[in-house]
Structure 1
Amino acid sequence: MPELPIIAALPALRAALASNARVVLEAPPGAGKTTVVPLELLAASWRNPDDKILVLEPRQLAVRGAAARLAQLLGEPVGRTIGYRVRLDSKVSQETRVEVITEGILTRMIQDDPALEGVAAVVFDEFHERSLNADLGLALALDAQAVLRPDLRILIMSATLEAQRLGQWLPAPVVSSAGFLFPIDTHYLDPRRASSLPNKPNERLAELVPAQVRAALNTHAEGDILVFLPGVGDLQRSAGKLTDALADTVDLHLLHGELPLETQDAALRPARAGRRKVILATSIAETSLTIEGVRVVIDGGFARVPRFVPRTGFTTLETVPVARAAADQRRGRAGRLAPGTCYRLWTEAEHHNLPAHRPPEIHTADLSSLVLELALWGATEPTGLRWLDVPPVAAFAQARELLLRLGALANETKVTPHGRQLAALGLPPRLGHLVVRGQELGYGAAAGALAALLAERDLLRWASPTDTRPMLPDLRLRLEALESGRPPLPGLALHHATLQRVRDVARNLQARQRQAPAAAGYSAAQAPVGLLTALAYPDRLAQRETHDRLRLVTGQRVSLNTTDVDPQAEFFAVAHLAGTAAAPRATLAAPLGKDELELAFADQITTTDEVGYDVAAQRVSGRRVRRLGALLLSEAVIGQPDPALVSQALGTYLQEAGLSKLNWTAEARQLQQRLEFLHQQFPASEANPGEEWPTFNDKTLTRELTEWLGPHLTGLKTLADVQRLNLTEPLLARLPGGWNQRQVLDRLAPAALEVPSGSHIALDYSDPAAPVLAVKLQELFGLTETPTVAGGRVPLLLHLLSPGGRPAQVTRDLRSFWERGYFEVRKDLKGRYPRHPWPDKPMEHIPTKLTKKRLGQ
């Protein structure tokens, strides 16, 4: 057993596991927990000699690496005491007692055998990565332990997780181990250099990484260099710039999860004598692995993470700044076996602004697989299990809705036989549905191949490494390449490792579906690729709107250059999306015919009469339409639409266009203002039930237009018809008190007032706080008190007019005007209007609208 820091913590770990079913082990990078702890558990007194220890790792590369190292320590080949199991590959035997597995394998094992018979302990290694599968596996294991297996040990090992929080939540004792790293000299990017770089991560890294690799090779005479980049595309761009720039003694390796095992192993093996390695890696190399020979780490500072948006149902990959905890993990790769150096391609100031930890995947992922697994487990809601972080409500509901649409659930909790088939395939539910339904339609081989293509990384690339154009989105090209093993078009090349992996997955799916492989089974010419894609993504059926834009069945718009897929097609099935939730773009799609769409989704197609207002014709028109969600399949004009729908369409248009489109005669506008005046003067609290004065302001009338005007639109079809409609009756109909309240209206807010001269003068209620009586002052001679409305509550604002009809005085106190203001007005106007009476005693004079001559004076 190697001398590692974890050795000192083993007595405390043994004691904790002897008396507790759950234990947390906190061990920093370099402690040796992955190498030492599984072998220590083999000798535990609480383990039956025939029982297994399951060790969970987050990645296949870590699974194989850990199994190989453990077997080496025992002096055995992998497959005897130490074995491993990953998707499509396993090395186990009847002698195997420590089985290293990927986290998703545990879910299948525990679903098949909830008691985990023959398993003594489950070890969650690198739990701080907080993958969705690890959280699900832990929730199921805790439930099985609580109900069926109280003797089952659960050990959670983590390098950076807040162990005390985890220990309190379980609850469980926390055992801590020291870590060990050789000194690491850390360098940050010069701020002046950073200010001149492009903002886009891929452009920034393409400029920085090759130069830093060359500088590091010149500065450090010994040791290999490990470079962290966010995605495979970044690896390939940097490799293209380095291939011809490295010395003959330097080997360049790529390291990511899609590579063949032998290629990954070559990157991990020590360099040959006299040679050095440069390893361009994704975050796959952050944890669980010790890559012998690495003395220098160059960290690009970014990671590629999936982001699921429940509002749209889209999952897109985003390039985001690395978290500080992950950056520390990456840095530690340089000091595992000797003193090292880390170059961080960001400034020290930027480092302090990085997030402390990356969010758990359960907060950002599509939860459809998790929801299906919980339904199989019998958990009706996620709250029925224990979670360190509970699945988000919106994403959980979105996933359940998808499973109902796919037929995997019969209701919110019951799994259908079809759903059990999907879970057994080990694919995301969408792709499992594609495989099962595709076989039922007679396209099993093509469906399996397509599912494999969609589950893996794109197998196509541009032949030129400097070509940065988006890859052609046509899915049919991938199936052609998969069948022939050759690039489908000039200028394209294949990722041969991905090609082989896709073929392996496809063959495995065919075998599990009990279908004999067919040589031409992948042929795009013989398989309806668009239809098969639509089976997996029924919510991404799309219709062309323009040459570069599609409308999805959900109504969402996505960009796609349709000439890159099929310039004649009207309908498409979209598989993969990129960009942002606000501006998504289709990166994988296939055309499908209208007849295919109508046949496959016949039960979802609706036929409705759509009646709407045609602004150009200024009238209501109707059409009978057939739709699949937001996709328009056909339409025909309706000669005589339903009158109720016509009225509704008119009302909707008027509500959107505004009250100005209505026939607002002076009488109608004054009526509206009188009613609003009474609403403000007589609050609802003062009224008897059914006698309230509702508001009549423009905002309310617009909002409720279809309610008060709708019944009066029956039989009307055009805007001209509407503009002949008298609004008086529709407005009065809003009064809850009926005819009696209308009479009260005339008493409290009369339309006109009879003045002493005998004239009936219309009142102006445009300002509900100050109704106006505008009248020639001679017509009020003899009137001493200001007239009122609202039952005496509100004195009228008198606009006293000259004989010429111009305002001479404004007042609410008529008596005061006669006593003082009148004489100033008379002095000013008598000379201009000598024919009209200007008496010395206006309060005693006969009111008149006539001149003195006509009065006989």
Structure 2
Amino acid sequence: MNRPAFPIDELLPRIRESLATHPRLVLEAPPGAGKTTQVPPALLDAPWLAGRKIVMLEPRRVAARAAATFMAKQRGEEPGATVGYRIRFENRVSAATRIEVVTEGILTRMIQDDPTLDGVGVLLFDEFHERHLSADLGLALALDVQASLREDLRIVVMSATLDGERLASFLDAPRLSSAGRSFPVTVAHFPGRREEALEHQVKRAVEHALVQHPGDVLVFLPGQREIARAEAALAASDAARAVDVLQLHGELPVEQQSRVLQPGPDGHRRVVLATNVAESSVTLPGVRVVIDSGQAREPRYDPNSGFARLDVVNIAQASADQRAGRAGRVAEGFAYRLWPESQRLEAQRRAEIAQVELAGLALELAAWGDANLRFVDAPPPGALAAARELLHRLGALENNAITALGRRMLALGTHPRLAAMLLAPDDDDERALACDLAALIEARDPLRSRSDALAERWQALAAFRNGRLVSDASRSALIALDQAAKQWRRRLRVAAPPSADLPAHAIGDVLLHAYPDRIARQHPADPYRYQLANGRSAKLFDDSALYGEPWIVVSELRDENRDARVLRAAPLDEARLQRDFPQRFVREDRVVWDAATRGIAAVRETRFDRIVLESRPLAKPDPARYADALVDAVRQLGLDALPWTEALRQWRERVRCLRAWLPELIDALPDLSDAALLATLDDWLKPALSGKTRLDALDEAALGEAIKSRTDWATRQKIDALAPTRIIVPSGMERRIEYGFDDGANHGGGAPEAPVLAVKLQELFGLADTPRIADGRVPLTLHLLSPGGKPLQITRDLRSFWDRTYPEVKKEMKGRYPKHPWPDDPWSATATHRAKPRGT
């Protein structure tokens, strides 16, 4: 095919030159510039490449296939010759392939299997601004390989809308920018109507665009559900009936994807309803109008609940700009945004690593043997810890090191939950069922009903295989499910699908290997409530098809305020738990804090994981266990449950203030914030509770010594000298200094409050300067009191008070307190805490 001209063309020589002298490069190019399809071929004959391969990571399967096909056709070849691609369940490469376009976790597998990347000369990360987890991990691994094994490996990060300056600084790399298509796009906000559903707003916008503008219309919607609703709404539109309405998303069969990426026959107009798969890399010929919902369906993860879900979220401004740019590829275009003009979007898309479940990443890091890779954005510690806990449950990690099972799971290239399930069965029928369940869990729901029974989904699939379509099932979804299950059976070398006649617990008995943390037992007092193996609880809907099941395994949960809600689950057989997880059934004696009775409970428990199966009172518990239970009580009740004296509270605040005022002492003085004390209860409180069976048996003196046990005698003397409890004032009396620490919203952070000395004004006569503590660095805040003890003035500048304010105070107070001295010259007057002698 004749090669068209692209804006990136004039930059290609500079890209080659840059990579000849520097191993990394950041390339910015807007949509339509041609970076995806023109940069890889331009590098093929570069001297530094020395005939090795080019591997390009493309974040989406549709885009990977389309980019490889386009580059192959430019060379007059089919994919699999010089240019090929590898995506999940599809491989079009050969011994002759020198440009490989790969997606998802394939690049990660390449690096894990061969850390030297033998035969690969350059890695290209396309559309990096999408910040997919696989791209972030792939880049981190590639940087590690380049630093330790392959100094000659080139790395190019390409994007249309990223923070190029920040990324170039992170990579220590040159930064090149290309122009894009120059056709202008007029952007307008299409007004919504009160309580109007999205599909009806889309229908009105499409009708307007078809009448007012030429060319095809591209509509961006969050997901397949919204696409289906919009397609149904357009079916009732006279204007839309005259055009072809097409879908574009990652689950479409290849033939349908290819049809959308080709021009309409004889210039026939088209309306393409697409997810954000059409946002980058793929070119839709003929599009002159973009209609943007401003939404996308993206994964979000809550590390506190451990549950991940796909949420419809607002897109970033960078994505909105990129979507609008799709209208200006071939000529002047128009973009209609279906949100108010006053609504402000975030500037850039958030990295996926910050908001998804990280079990796959944790397993990859364990296999690599180094968790300290250089990530553009580091994985959140909470989410990573939750991921490792899950991997231990799945048997993939042991003491944070990858097991033999973990390596087999990694080789399957799917989520660790599904990998564990696929590898667990020991007969072909269960393996075949595991393949079906993996397809069901990964795909969209084939049923339109809200039923929480996973078995109903599988039964619809089994019926479809026998030529029957369940009334509320989607035929297209079942076709996709059946194809995905076949792919898994091929991978696992399973000859046939499972029998259509399964025992009642068969699905749950296989599924439990994917969700060992969500195995659940019915609550003895509430048949709708279940206790999960991870310690949480969940409830069924009132009309649940699972009502009455003593044991279930939950594949989908929605987190709610108190109990999670069971969205999808299957019953299981307790005997199967005994067979497959005997090590998780334990019997032990426990001495625990009972929050209900505010006392210690000693019980003998039989548990499966954290599910209590039986609990009986224990007659003679081990006394050594009481201290642990009492420490747990303080964790639950908080530090205020301890017998604090005011003197001890002040000692604690003095130490905290000194750590802030004198940074050079921070290592010598203990951290006594709430967070630090709670985190170290076993170190300082547990010894003080030894031999005690009640929390109130800990007296004030023992608590004081426990708190102060982290400082030696010399340090305590230094604390008293630098932050004294009392100070001698000019009257000769000792007066108390009050200390405080403002934690603000973050316990363990905050700042010290100004130390306060409350003293009668007459006791400071003759004192010129404000007293200071903490080695003279911190002035006291003086609360100057009347003879009756009422505040007259608050100051940290005593000299200024005597000069400016005292005369007014004297004039007002002298008549009210005539028995007390009010000298005209406070500088030379004798300080006193008494009234004037009689007769004076």
Q: TM-score scaled by structure 2?
A: 0.72
User: CA separation in 1, counterparts of 2:138 and 2:688?
Assistant: 59
Distance 1:275 1:564, change over 3 A: farther
Distance 1:390 1:251, change over 3 A: same
Counterparts of 1:43-82 in structure 2, within 5 Å, are 43-49=45-51, 51-82=52-83
2:92 partner letter: K
Contact 2:88/2:104 (<8 A) preserved: no
1:403 partner letter: L
Quote the offset at 1:219 in angstroms. 2.5
* Residue matched to 1:7: 9
Counterparts of 1:270-669 in structure 2, within 5 Å, are 270-273=263-266, 275-350=268-343, 353-379=344-370, 381=371, 383=372, 385-412=373-400, 414-439=401-426, 443-462=430-449, 471-485=450-464, 491-496=471-476, 498-514=477-493, 516-521=494-499, 524-525=502-503, 528-545=506-523, 546=526, 548-561=528-541, 563-578=543-558, 584-608=564-588, 624-635=604-615, 640=619, 642=621
1:410 partner letter: E
Contact 2:87/2:104 (<8 A) preserved: no
Contact 1:297/1:331 (<8 A) preserved: yes
Partner SS state of residue 49, structure 2: coil
> Which string of whole-angstrom CA distances, capped at 9 and with x for unpartnered residues, describes residues 64-119 of structure 1?
11112112222222222211111111222222221111142111112122111222
Quote the offset at 1:645 in angstroms. 11
User: CA separation in 1, counterparts of 2:570 and 2:106?
Assistant: 32
* Residue matched to 1:849: none
Partner SS state of residue 339, structure 2: coil
* Residue matched to 1:722: none
User: CA separation in 2, counterparts of 1:391 and 1:586?
Assistant: 28
Distance 1:591 1:2, change over 3 A: same
Quote the offset at 1:483 in angstroms. 2.5
Partner SS state of residue 420, structure 1: helix
Contact 2:112/2:368 (<8 A) preserved: yes
* Residue matched to 2:195: 197
Quote the offset at 1:154 in angstroms. 1.3
* Residue matched to 1:241: 233
User: CA separation in 2, counterparts of 1:616 and 1:136?
Assistant: 47
* Residue matched to 2:758: none
Partner SS state of residue 493, structure 1: coil
Partner SS state of residue 597, structure 1: helix
1:387 partner letter: F
Contact 1:537/1:574 (<8 A) preserved: yes
What CA RMSD, in Å, does the superposition of the two structures yield over aligned residues?
4.0
Q: TM-score scaled by structure 1?
A: 0.70
Partner SS state of residue 460, structure 1: coil
* Residue matched to 1:226: 218
> Which string of whole-angstrom CA distances, capped at 9 and with x for unpartnered residues, describes residues 822-854 of structure 1?
xxxxxxxxxxxxxxxxxxxxxxxxxxxxxxxxx
Distance 1:711 1:525, change over 3 A: closer
Quote the offset at 1:337 in angstroms. 1.0
Distance 1:488 1:314, change over 3 A: farther
User: CA separation in 2, counterparts of 1:47 and 1:682?
Assistant: 68
User: CA separation in 2, counterparts of 1:106 and 1:495?
Assistant: 33
Distance 1:270 1:356, change over 3 A: same
Distance 1:735 1:336, change over 3 A: closer
Distance 1:521 1:141, change over 3 A: farther
Give unmatched runs, 5+ long, in structure 1: 463-470, 659-672, 686-702, 715-726, 738-857
Contact 1:620/1:649 (<8 A) preserved: no
1:359 partner letter: R
User: CA separation in 1, counterparts of 2:381 and 2:651?
Assistant: 47
Contact 2:623/2:691 (<8 A) preserved: no
Partner SS state of residue 182, structure 1: coil
> Which string of whole-angstrom CA distances, capped at 9 and with x for unpartnered residues, describes residues 464-500 of structure 1?
xxxxxxx32211122222223169996411242x433
Contact 1:70/1:82 (<8 A) preserved: yes
Partner SS state of residue 451, structure 2: coil
Counterparts of 1:741-760 in structure 2, within 5 Å, are none
Contact 2:521/2:530 (<8 A) preserved: yes
Contact 1:610/1:624 (<8 A) preserved: yes
* Residue matched to 1:177: 178
User: CA separation in 1, counterparts of 2:99 and 2:200?
Assistant: 45
Quote the offset at 1:210 in angstroms. 2.1
* Residue matched to 2:159: 158
Quote the offset at 1:25 in angstroms. 1.1
* Residue matched to 1:747: none
Distance 1:517 1:678, change over 3 A: closer
1:236 partner letter: A
Contact 1:573/1:592 (<8 A) preserved: yes
User: CA separation in 1, counterparts of 2:374 and 2:692?
Assistant: 59
Quote the offset at 1:443 in angstroms. 1.9
* Residue matched to 2:772: none
User: CA separation in 2, counterparts of 1:505 and 1:123?
Assistant: 29
1:397 partner letter: A
User: CA separation in 2, counterparts of 1:735 and 1:586?
Assistant: 45
Partner SS state of residue 473, structure 1: coil
Partner SS state of residue 557, structure 2: strand
> Which string of whole-angstrom CA distances, capped at 9 and with x for unpartnered residues, describes residues 438-485 of structure 1?
2379721112221222223323335xxxxxxxx322111222222231
1:284 partner letter: V
Distance 1:164 1:678, change over 3 A: closer
User: CA separation in 1, counterparts of 2:380 and 2:433?
Assistant: 35
1:48 partner letter: A
Quote the offset at 1:622 in angstroms. 7.3
Contact 2:433/2:497 (<8 A) preserved: no
Contact 1:24/1:175 (<8 A) preserved: yes
* Residue matched to 1:135: 136
User: CA separation in 1, counterparts of 2:113 and 2:630?
Assistant: 60
Give unmatched runs, 5+ long, in structure 2: 638-642, 655-680, 706-840
Contact 1:27/1:176 (<8 A) preserved: yes
* Residue matched to 2:34: 32
1:534 partner letter: L
Contact 2:37/2:70 (<8 A) preserved: yes
Quote the offset at 1:710 in angstroms. 11
Contact 1:299/1:345 (<8 A) preserved: yes
Q: How many residue pairs were aligned?
A: 666
Quote the offset at 1:378 in angstroms. 2.2
Partner SS state of residue 155, structure 1: strand
Contact 1:443/1:527 (<8 A) preserved: no
User: CA separation in 2, counterparts of 1:172 and 1:529?
Assistant: 52
Contact 1:565/1:591 (<8 A) preserved: no
1:245 partner letter: S
